[in-house]
Structure 1
Amino acid sequence: MLDVKRLQVLLAIVEEGSVTAAAAALGYTPSAVSQQLLRLEREAGQPLLDRHARGMRPTDAGLVLATHARKVVRQLAAAEADLQDIAGVRRGSVTLGTFPTVGSSFLPLAVRRYRELYPNITLTISSGREDHLVRMLEEGAVAMSFLWDYEWDRVSNDELVLTELFTDPTVLLVGASHRLARRRTVDIAALADEPWIIRAGGHPVVEVLERSAVAAGFTPTIAFQANDYQEAQAMVSVGLGIALAPRTATVNQHPDVRVISLGSSAPSRRVLVAHRAGRVRGAAELALHDVLVETASSYPGR
């Protein structure tokens, strides 16, 4: 029986015109291509190529066999494509939930990679607050969603399966002319006398500040309550106060704001991806999960 891989070698030589060119096209060495050709000629029982100064020409037998090889190779490629379509990694759709700080930092990196690998899959993304994201997971409105938590308030939901992607440290935001602007690391205990800008509406970063301040022995003085991190950065930039933020919230950094590490003096949060327990997960969804994990493993903001 003729070997399919050797037929591919013959076809490459016929189409490229030489062993060297065929080897380059196939990613083989010229020696490996020559060996495969000799074995194929033994299987066929007759010469398949005529060697000449400018390369190789197929014999009548080689031309017939190359014609059949072309059909076989195309049919194999079509079979593989059909299997991938059935598996859902070439076509299909997947839905994902996210929250703003991850949606503006980590997620675009993962989306770019996913589209490179699976350009025909439709990816639909919805952004919202965490309670809304959990509800969408439970109702099946999204297949997966990013979530986050702190050590004192872990996500605890028996209906969800969680995968930790990366740790998102809490950082300090100060104006470019602030006395600490040139520091790389600051302990939060050194900030007792500073005015603070916080997020309005009971945002979780407020609890991060309160817990950190209590641990450091002071009560923070609040100068302004911002509706989002961009507004907070604007107020920090003009010296109204300083602020805390997850590092993912500082990707779009104000030019007059400096980001300083707080080391272990302020708690970090976990960034997670979740799906509903018992969900039958399609190949497109599993592929997205793998891309998220892969992207997180080398994420510079972690």
Structure 2
Amino acid sequence: MAFTDASLTALRVFREVAERGTLTAAAAALGYTQSAVSRQVAALERAAGTRLLERRHDGVRLTPAGHVVVRRAAAVVDQVDAAARELAGLPDGHGTVRLGWFASAGAGLVPRALAALRRTHPAITVITREGSTPALVRALRAGTLDLALLASAPPFRPPDAETPPLHLLTLTERGLCVAVPATHPLARGDVVDVADLHGQRWIAGTGDNLGMGVWPGLDERPEVAHTARDWLAKLNLVAAGCGITTVPASLTSVVPAGVRVLPVHGGPEEQRRLMLARLPSPLTEPAARLADALRAAARDA
């Protein structure tokens, strides 16, 4: 079988596997069985005459040949989808930008940037989605995102080890803060001493982000009173007096009433970078305009 015989379905499935990181997740996203996904990948590998995926205990990883195929697959699938839109009389999508973002960026930065972009360039359509850093990076590599907002903590390593390296632009670098109820004893001052964080009740994230919300490096087992994936839920739990949580400084402007956001002194600085990531290729004009809007929103926050 020659690679030119590869089916469009197999290319779509392979791109989904590359983005999701596991056969199981790709199958769930596509509504297929895992065995059907495996068959499509196997057919594509036969057509390519080489392995495209490295199966590991924690999922799959693209081989060098797999990177070539997923890059080309993204282009083919996008062109076919554009043709389908044109035949249906729909916009061709050339003015569309696909943006991924981590959870807290959606609370303030992303809406501000999109509102500004609509005022200056109303013809540009932006499609967004939230995701974890690994998921957003895979989506960039798979060609299903054009830009991604990522958060990074010291020692600020690259988000993945693949080649070519992603192009990373630092938008801001600010300290991590704590959000406390306005009636909490810690809210009486303008700063919090790290020693006063011992023995507090914390509102943390869920799943892989369980530690998000607890101050890093505490030399005790923290008491996690509540877990929530959504930042607004965590902040409203703080407002209700249910505990305290960590927040990036950029969320200060969107906290609900009854919450104070305070810097922490007395320990190692906990800096957080907000980065705009993309593949190292020229941006389309709509993507460049969105990048400009994100930079301006980050600067003005």
Same fold (TM over 0.5): yes
Partner of residue 103 from structure 2, selected from 100, 107, 111: 100
TM-score, scaled to structure 1: 0.60
Deviations 1:33-66 (A, max 9, x none): xxxxxxxxxxxxxxxxxxxxxxxxxxxxxxxxxx
Partner of 2:238: 236
TM-score, with structure 2 as normaliser: 0.60
1:97-120 CA-partner distances (Å, limit 9, x unpaired): 112311221112221222222221
- 2:27 is aligned to none
Q: Deviations over 1:215-244 (max 9, x none)?
A: xxx443333333333333333334332221
Moved more, 98-107 or 192-201: 192-201
Residue 274 of structure 2 aligns with an amino acid whose one-letter code is V
**Which residue matches 1:257?**
259
Instruction: Quote the Cα distance in structure 1 between the aligned partners of 2:287 and 2:212.
Output: 35
Matched, 1:174 2:180: yes
Q: Which residue number in structure 2 is paired with residue 195 of structure 1? A: 201
Q: Is 1:154 matched with 2:157?
A: yes
* Percentage identity across paired residues of the two chains: 28
Instruction: Single out whichever of 189-198 and 227-236 deviates more from structure 2.
Output: 227-236
| Secondary structure of residue in 2 paired with 1:151 | coil
1:101–1:251 CA distance, 2 compared to 1 (3 A): farther
User: How far apart, CA to CA, are the structure 2 residues paired with 1:130 and 1:198?
Assistant: 18
CA distance in 2, matches of 1:166, 1:268: 10
Secondary structure class of the residue paired with 1:169: strand
Please, which runs of 5 or more residues in structure 2 have no aligned partner?
1-93
Written as runs of structure 1 = structure 2, the 5 A alignment for 1:134-149 is 134-149=137-152
CA drift at 1:288: 2.2
Q: Please state whether the residue corresponding to 1:174 is helix, strand or coil.
A: strand
For 1:283, the aligned partner's letter is E
Contact 2:134 2:159 in 1 (8 A): no
Gap regions ≥5 residues in structure 1? 1-90
The 5-angstrom pairing of residues 1-302 of structure 1 reads 92-152=95-155, 154-157=157-160, 158=163, 159-203=165-209, 205-206=211-212, 209-211=215-217, 213-214=218-219, 218-263=220-265, 265=267, 266-277=269-280, 279-297=281-299, 299-300=300-301
User: One-letter code of the match for 2:231?
Assistant: Y
* Code of the aligned partner of 2:295: V
Q: RMSD of the alignment, in Å?
A: 2.5
Aligned equivalents of 2:116 and 2:237: distance in 1? 35
Q: CA deviation at 1:153?
A: 5.2
Deviation at 1:149, TM superposition (A): 0.8
Per-residue CA deviations over 1:105-164 (Å, capped at 9, x if unaligned) read: 111222122222222122222222222211110111111111111013523434311000
Contact 1:205 1:244 (C-alpha < 8 Å) held by counterparts: no
1:240 is matched by which residue type in structure 2? C
The answer to whether the 8 A contact 2:178-2:247 is kept is: yes
How far does the alpha carbon of each residue in 1:255-295 deviate from its partner, in whole angstroms, 9 at most, with x for none?
22222122574512111101112x24222222222232233
Deviates more, 1:116-125 or 1:225-234: 225-234
Which residue of structure 1 aligns with residue 3 of structure 2? none
The answer to whether the Cα contact below 8 Å between 1:175 and 1:238 also exists between their aligned partners in 2 is yes
| Change in 2 beyond 3 A, CA 1:155/1:240 | same
Instruction: Name which of structure 1's ranges 181-190 and 233-242 shifts more when overlaid on structure 2.
Output: 233-242
Larger radius of gyration: 1
Q: CA separation in 1, counterparts of 2:207 and 2:156?
A: 18
Give me the whole-angstrom Cα distance separating, in 1, the residues matched to 2:266 and 2:126: 37
Q: Could you say if the C-alpha distance between residues 293 and 263 of structure 1 is closer, same or farther in structure 2, counting changes exceeding 3 Å?
A: farther
CA drift at 1:204: 6.7
**1:250 Cα deviation (Å)?**
4.8
